Structure 1
């Protein structure tokens, strides 16, 4: 039976009423709106209200977008899937307005912040919005309770969390702006905010349909992701509140260390480590079926999420620390991060997490993994071939199979080696996806690891021009057009520059091209490949062929071809 979905347009007076008690689930990120978003909201609201004296009912309404809730039909309790940022900011705004009003009018406003209890009915105060556990008490004390805004502004911001600083900063901004408005106009603003500002509330009783709805709605909130939903299920499966808080902190620390985008990538890599196959369903379903982190949530966070997250951070930042082999291992990480796909990362994470304290093994494995990843890239293996190969490698790592054996999925086959050599000996320049990686790898080999490639621009240039001018020295050296065309795009005729291409300089004569184009201002080149060219007095077919042979041999040595 499909879940029922309800959508209704509500004024803020109805949003912040007994009809709803909003809760921010633990999986949601902390409050993140800054002064910039708060300013945009308030500026829009004041602009729509304008300075006219017409009746509030005649003023153009303002739409705040939609929020998505998980909410049963018959009770007010609602988990906020999308809309946390707006609901929190609006509550701050209403609290500031309450503070700026005289006591009588402030009393009329407070009901939109909390439902007052009744001692005779046995009811306690019930707040319209409950933030995440980590922020709930802070928000209640300084925003919702009614007499603590001044105390909030006096708190040392350096001692607050990011979300608490945002709450403090937005409160300060609203006070600074609104206290400049005359009281009668401020009353009109409160009326307008509560009766002419609308939210579309979309509610459904389960998280799956709520997520589907959220995915197709545009709003001013920040995106909800797969990791947020998994966090909800995994943290929610921990029964003890203190343990929930502890593991929420671990989760959020790992997300902060990696950054939100890379943290999302991590879950794709975890799925691959377990599934060892291309995604066939939604990622959420595959996690539930094949990884089942909700069954043993603490174990998943302790033994999978944290070690794999730490491994990915070290690999991505090339920041392995050890007394042995740290620099060559980090150099291999830097090369792997230049590969044009991320399919190599799951086996990298798995192996590193198992062997992080054995640098000898790490150096050998990542030497071979870079060789494999580069080889598959040079061969232009498609995504299915790559996934199948790395799936076999994941199995081999899990089963502790000898990865150095010739038939190991980590090792290139004889046929693959032959095809790689043929590719490298061909028109490399025409292979746009691999040419820069190959030339940088070659340059590093020639410079014996002393080169650094932290340039904002690296371009590939031909020595022999693609279209030499009639009467040039180039055509004297290459009178045979067939031989010239055979040579022009090969490694032997290519070099690297740390500047953008110059279409005019590309066709200079050799001596001028060396001095005016290939050299830097200091008279040398940043690249060993280019320095080789500067040492030549002429550029003949023999020079290119010899350079091709030497370059190919250097790459064979690097990749054991």
Structure 2
């Protein structure tokens, strides 16, 4: 391994070329990173600092003094190439233009030579870099929208960063830009480290991560796969498979997906860093390619979960409800089921049961480890090939309908689950073929106000009844918009007028129930509470369905304010 301090001019000279190897992450610097680099170097330039250090460039030397794979430093190196390309485009001085061109392309040895880029990005991005950066072809608005729609972050980063470079140059004359270019080339330094093998690169990758460099777990998992390649195997095929994974999931979600996938495989709490947890999994796989085949299949199911892409209307409604939950531990068992379906059990049946147990666990306030117990039991049962009846018994065994009902029957307002519960109960009596989408801010309103300031309320509710009913389901209504402080202490008639206006913006069926009564008394409140509790128990019970034998058991009457 060799290390030396070099100027930018010395690393971007002669026939030296750099390639971003396939195990590396894509270009991920955003405009804020580029603006910071330019501002820092500009500050050093204005202060006439003798030298300015911008970090290290760690490489594998593939051809002595000529071709290097970039292990660490690709973000800075790519950005420097973007900077020099854009500065080149602003030059009218032919000598300055030629000098800058030589920093981004290899000088031709003769006129018939093909012009080669000094930097080769990952194969997916190289053509874009050549065309729109080195060849200066503008990006059409239509193409840009396509990139934004497909969330092609590396290309979008390149676009936004050259725009940031252009903004930096605004207001600076050509003489100043040339002087800044000279400072960048001759007085900005990197430490260049050249190693000789993939093994060294693998070790450095992990050392860098241990020292807090911003390498993701997905980067390191990818590196584990490339380290397993046998001698003579080309890495291009593995790179293509990895790119397929990135396109399926999106780079920003990879770590999150790998965490869920790991849980779907092993069903135990993580005890190490995520990439370390994957080492034995990768070692057990027949090849890196077989591992990636399984990962990509799982990734496609993960995207189905994220996008709620289910044909079964029952599954779709329950999945939308699950996405309102404050935790995601329910994803691995669903991922396991989709990756390995259970005979005689439909997707709809499994998702509905998963919603039931998840809301029971949430409302029962089970801690993280306790919540995981039933999920891990489900994962193990599915992977062991258990029957649908055995899977259902695990759901039922993890439930406690009595405790669930008792807690939901109490104070709900202010609980983490309050909004999700009310939204789900809003859908409970709707036809399954109907899908309503609620956008904008939705708030929870107390019908019976938090203080009995208006005589309308003090005439109808005792202090004890007020305390008992205030924060319970029957007294809560969904409204569109911000919190309705203007109406909080008004009489019921005035409140209804405000609710009706709000309900025109977004119509909530459960709020219409409030608008449909003339008076808000303990009996009316009790009727609505009983109705919502009946819906809740129909949606979320897992044992014998809760159904009151006598209507009076479902409704809290004035004579029994505590229920």
For Structure 1 versus Structure 2, the TM-score category normalised by the shorter chain is 0.7 to 0.9
Could you state the TM-score of these two structures normalised by the residue count of structure 1?
Answer: 0.77
Per-residue CA distance 1:115-136 (angstroms, 9 max, x = gap)? 88999xxxxx998655435566
Per-residue CA distance 1:435-463 (angstroms, 9 max, x = gap)? 11111121211344546242211111111
CA distance in 1, matches of 2:277, 2:483: 47
Would you say the 8 A contact 1:271–1:287 is kept in 2?
A: yes
Match of 2:534 in 1: 553
| Structure 1 unaligned spans of 5+ | 51-57, 120-124, 144-148
Would you say the 8 A contact 1:67–1:199 is kept in 2?
A: yes
Bigger Cα displacement from structure 2, 250-259 vs 36-45? 36-45
Match of 2:75 in 1: 85
Bigger Cα displacement from structure 2, 173-182 vs 63-72? 173-182
> Which of 388, 400, 409 is the matching residue for 2:394?
409
1:450-469 alignment, distance < 5 Å: 450=434, 452-469=436-453
The alpha-carbon distance between structure 1 residues 550 and 43, as it changes in their structure 2 partners (threshold 3 A), is closer
> Which of 409, 414, 438 is the matching residue for 1:425?
409
Give the SS at the match of 1:395. Answer: helix
Match of 2:55 in 1: 66
Would you say the 8 A contact 1:255–1:263 is kept in 2?
A: yes
1:141-156 alignment, distance < 5 Å: 153=137
> Which of 255, 270, 286 is the matching residue for 1:279?
270
Per-residue deviation at 1:533? 0.9
Would you say the 8 A contact 1:66–1:200 is kept in 2?
A: yes
Per-residue CA distance 1:267-294 (angstroms, 9 max, x = gap)? 0011112221111011111100244377
Could you state the TM-score of these two structures normalised by the residue count of structure 2?
Answer: 0.77
Give the SS at the match of 1:519. Answer: helix
1:436-515 alignment, distance < 5 Å: 436-449=419-432, 450=434, 452-469=436-453, 472-479=455-462, 481-515=463-497
Bigger Cα displacement from structure 2, 90-99 vs 500-509? 90-99
Per-residue CA distance 1:168-219 (angstroms, 9 max, x = gap)? 997899899989988876664443222211335578845355445357567x
The alpha-carbon distance between structure 1 residues 63 and 210, as it changes in their structure 2 partners (threshold 3 A), is farther
The alpha-carbon distance between structure 1 residues 21 and 484, as it changes in their structure 2 partners (threshold 3 A), is same
CA distance in 2, matches of 1:154, 1:495: 53
CA distance in 1, matches of 2:137, 2:165: 12
1:344-355 alignment, distance < 5 Å: 344-355=330-341
Match of 2:24 in 1: 28
Match of 1:253 in 2: 244
Would you say the 8 A contact 1:238–1:298 is kept in 2?
A: no
Per-residue deviation at 1:66? 2.1
Match of 2:553 in 1: none
Give the SS at the match of 2:387. Answer: coil
1:287-306 alignment, distance < 5 Å: 287-292=278-283, 295-302=286-293, 304-306=294-296
The alpha-carbon distance between structure 1 residues 511 and 305, as it changes in their structure 2 partners (threshold 3 A), is same
1:150-229 alignment, distance < 5 Å: 153=137, 188-199=179-190, 205-214=200-209, 223-229=214-220
The alpha-carbon distance between structure 1 residues 421 and 195, as it changes in their structure 2 partners (threshold 3 A), is same
| Structure 2 unaligned spans of 5+ | 546-563
**RMSD between superposed Cα atoms in Å:** 4.5
Q: How many residue pairs get matched? A: 525
The alpha-carbon distance between structure 1 residues 168 and 506, as it changes in their structure 2 partners (threshold 3 A), is closer
Match of 1:53 in 2: none
